[in-house]
Amino acid sequence: MPPIKCQGIKTKLVPFILRNIRWDGQGAWVEPFLGSGVVLFNVLPQRALACDSNPHLIRFYQATIEGRLTPRSVGEHLTREGERLAALGERHYYAVRDRFNEAGDPLDFLLLNRACFNGVMRFNRRGGFNVPFCRKTERFQQAYVTKIVNQVAALQDMMRGRQWEFRCVGWREALSGLSAEDFAYLDPPYVGRHTDYFSQWSEKDAAALAGVARELPCGFALSMWKENRYRSNDYIRRHWAFAVERTATHFYHVGPTESLRNAMVEALLVKPGYEAPLSEFPRPRTAEQMSLAFAH
């Protein structure tokens, strides 16, 4: 589990993603929509270009790989601010939120990410973090702080000796100039489910991404929701019919409302020739079957 959480995190989908793509690792692993970084941190390529439009995410990971943010500094910050949160309650959370929106300290970003409502990462039009408090004043008990510190330590260990670059750029720039040896993992905001956690994302943007992906010289795989028990995503049929589709079903636990925390059939759309051979995995259940299973 990465130290930063966000809606749509792919932790439980990583095995499904990795077993359905084929890449020899000779080039760079490229992610224009890094998010939590959980896929990158499980692929562990020697070379990677990790990009996102959210400067706070990139600043956090840059500080981590450069050693300016350390397990010790994380532990000290979360312990100190957690004690103040326990003493002052939500008033301290909002004071930290105001402080972060002025200065953008990566340690405050981590604190807010772990103390905000339901793990949602959301910013207003001015770029200010605006998620309310989770109302758990005793959030940062020692065991919880130690868990986060260990996640940061593990992340620094896996970064060591690898050529990873973190850049705050748009997806078009991130996908420009790639070589045939590279591989692009695309995890854009999900069309029809919620807006992006930092910048706006429209169906026009989503259609443009499909057009750019079709012309990439390298392999790619795109994650996108396919259906739930209520509706299906027509965007896949209209823009990604040229790709090889693989599906899996899982359950979302992170989201602002109950309606966004449902069983979901996820599609992985892979450039032809870069899909792994189908293995003897159990046939995925439908979204309705998964919803019924979680209801019991």
Q: For the chain (length 296 residues), average pLDDT per consecutive 10? A: 86 94 97 96 97 96 96 98 97 98 98 92 92 94 98 96 97 97 94 57 90 97 89 90 93 53 85 87 39 31
- Domain ranges in the chain? 11-54+168-295, 68-158
11-54+168-295 topology per CATH? Rossmann fold (3.40.50)
Nearest to 199 by CA among 169, 224, 173: 169
* Alpha-carbon radius of gyration of the chain: 19
CA dist 289 → 150, 229, 237 (Å): 36, 9, 23
Q: What is the pLDDT of residue 137?
A: 94
Give the 3-state secondary structure of residue 44: coil
Give residue 278's pLDDT. Answer: 84
Pick the CATH number of 68-158 from 2.60.40.10, 3.40.1500.10, 1.10.1020.10, 3.40.50.620: 1.10.1020.10
Give phi and psi for 270, each to the nearest 5: -115, 140
Positive or negative, the Cα torsion across 159, 165, 170, 171? negative
Among 105, 61, 50, CA closest to 81:
105
Give the separation between CA 29 and CA 31, rounded to whole angstroms. Answer: 7
Give the C-alpha separation, 208 to 128, whole Å. 27
What is the model's pLDDT at position 262? 64
Judge if 11-54+168-295 and 68-158 fold alike in CATH terms: no
pLDDT for the residue numbered 252: 58
